[in-house]
Structure 1
Amino acid sequence: MTARILVAKPGLDGHDRGAKIVARTLRDAGFEVIYTGIRQRIEDIVSIALHEDVAVVGLSILSGAHVALTTRTIDALRAADAGDIAVVVGGTIPQGDVKKLLDAGAAAVFPTGTPLETLVTEVRALTEETATP
């Protein structure tokens, strides 16, 4: 079964070139990818994740609000009884915030400049973990 991945742009960030590159890369690697487009509300991201039965929500954040938006997304997924959906975050993320994001519950963090091969390998490992009974 092909893992389904939701790539989302939460908040007011309007730049989506990186998110589109990530979505295409994951698709080309064999994942089924749903891309939300820009300026999505957390509630809508969670609703789409539930409706599409995704294994991973990938947040693309360039606005500087990555810790708050990631925490809110993880909390909303847990509140919807979907805490088993892995959340990964990428974008303009200072190295000092990587631990904060992981501590908040992010399964992986991909700062700007992360090789796409690394992204694919780590997302594949996450989806294989969640598929294991």
Structure 2
Amino acid sequence: LQVLFNRQGEFVDVKRAFELKGHTSGVLSFCFNQNSSRCATASKDGTWKLFDTEIRYNLGQEAQIIASGDWDVLRNASPETVSVAMSPSGKSFAVGASRHVRIFSALQPEKQFNLSKFCVTFPFLLPHQRSHSVHCRFEANL
């Protein structure tokens, strides 16, 4: 989305900037890197995608898929267990679902690290929330 303001700094409108096309089912989670040049998504169709979003949407350019992959865990995951996160630098991203996490290099997405054997949830850490998620900042060297 693009939020528009006039020269006096007053809100004018919100417009759709661009679409991330390519999934055949709903997107369960997404995350942009710090400068919004990349976006990682996870979908109920069982795929993850990495998009190049450094585009000139006002000139009609569309976001392009840089990389994608299949992951059966996403097809059967409860939507509330799916999460996508990107490192602050945008060099790596993670897709998590149902106690499984895969970490990818955004520069070479075929490089991945699977954390499914080591992942647990800690619902007692945040007793006031129904979520069983723990959010972490990470920087992976793959």
TM-score interval, smaller chain? under 0.3
Q: TM-score, normalised by structure 2?
A: 0.26
User: How does the TM-score come out when normalised to structure 1?
Assistant: 0.27
Kindly indicate which of the two structures has a greater share of residues assigned to helix.
1
Higher RCO, 1 or 2 (CA under 8 Å, sep at least 6)? 1
Question: Which structure has the larger Rg over C-alpha atoms?
Answer: 2
